[in-house]
Amino acid sequence: MKKIDEYQGKKVLVMGFGISGINAAHLLVKLGANVTANDKATPKNNDIVDDLEADGIKVITGDNPISLANEGFDVVVKNPGIPYDNPLVAAFVKQGTPIITEAELGWQIFDGHLVSVTGSNGKTTTTTLTQLMIAENAKYQVKYAGNIGISFSKIAEDLGPDDTLVTELSSFQLLGAPTIHPHIAIITNIFSNHLDYHKTRENYINAKLNITRNQTKDDFLVINWDRDEWQKIAQRSQTTIVPFSRLNKSHEGSYVEDGMIYWRGQEVMQTKDIRLIGPQNVENALAAIAAAKLSGVTNDAIKKVLTTFSGVRHRLQYVMEYQERLFYNDSKSTDIEATEVALQGFDRPVILLAGGLDRGYTFERLVPYFKKHVKAMIVFGECKDKMKDAGNQAGVPVIESEDAITAVPEAWKLSEPGDVILLSPANASWDQFPSFEVRGDKFIEAVEELTGKKEQ
């Protein structure tokens, strides 16, 4: 941990009691700040409040009182999910109070080698693969943190100058990280996500590009080269561009040719040996390989990881096989693009479980994928009628169910040996579940109840 004094004696407001907010509040006390912690909700667990107050932190819950904007805070550390049009946040913006996220605080105290990953899809898998690959050859600590569910600042506290931290960073986090400077930045892809938060696609792209804003020619931006738009986006960075591509050969980075993965013209391994299924995971592997090779990792270490790693929970996660049916949990597929790539990963008939929060989208884009890959659909949630329309257009049998839990036995009734039963909702979970993680866990529990087996 790097010693800094910029928070000594400063008055800091932490907004949000998530994992990152709680850790940030305790860290700021160590850094000499006078800390107030605020959450709009009242925590069900009193231990959270008790721990904060025991550390000398003033705690305000049950509201974001606008009066806090008049208390002279020097800095606000905001939970990334709180939008900037929140009245209290907007008041701080208007008066010019610096607003950062916990990722920025983590960077400020970090004293080692930083690799950061962002993108619309594939962030967590790429982050995990990158960390595992670098750790295979490392003499010092290699950890991961960030949007992957582990506090950046908490991990950074325990790392020294020779250690490496691989961070997954969302667009929300990057908006509040003005000085973050990874040596290696990765952009997996950029689709049109979170426009309810960012308002426009250009705002979303600009937030993602904050990952490379402070990089120099001595650093690297590893970026997907499979779309012209992403190639143009790369030119907005001042750093050294390292492309990765499943579709386009480029000797400047990692790519696929005739089923073989290459790094700058040298063979690494065959794509068929990657344990993770689907073209999206080939792309995730290519991104991780580029970062690993830039970090000095050997081909043997890369092969070891890619031939053994079976996936991140809720991200096209293999659950089990039962009576010759394969169950997969892809609850993290909260947008259309993620479900597209999930379906492309299977050469068996798929019974698809899909639906969720209605954000106003329709699903015509999925019709060709339904026609090619899907045997039957079970739909649920607010957007089930729209999902059903797309299934009907594809000529796929569609059954309505209450949610992702009740859909499991319905899917089983429709299945035959050799089928895949896939939860890949193409929608957020918030109409029925507090998070995609809870939705995925409940799906797995339903599979276990149906089969009498535990996930593998």
Please give the annotated binding residues for ATP, written as ranges.
119-125
Paired sense of beta strands 325-329 and 317-322, if any: antiparallel
Residue pair 184/219 in contact by the 8 Å Cβ criterion: yes
Residue 347 three-state SS: coil
The two structure tokens encoding residue 452 = 């009498």
CA distance 86 to 267: 51
The two structure tokens encoding residue 93 = 């913006």
Helix then strand count (H, E) for the chain reads 17, 20
Residue 346: closest CA among 366, 326, 331, 364: 326
In degrees and rounded to multiples of 5, residue 60 shows phi and psi of -130, 120
Residue pair 420/455 in contact by the 8 Å Cβ criterion: no
CA distance 432 to 438: 10
Q: Identify the DSSP state of 200.
A: S
Longest alpha-carbon distance in the chain:
66
First vs last Cα of the chain: how many Å apart? 38
Residue pair 8/33 in contact by the 8 Å Cβ criterion: yes
Residue pair 351/414 in contact by the 8 Å Cβ criterion: yes
Contacts of 94 (CB under 8 A, 6+ apart): none
CA distance 326 to 312: 17
Residues annotated in a binding site: 119-125
Number of residues in the chain: 456
Query: Any idea which residue has 């860290």 for tokens?
Result: 27
Residue 75: closest CA among 57, 97, 55, 94: 97
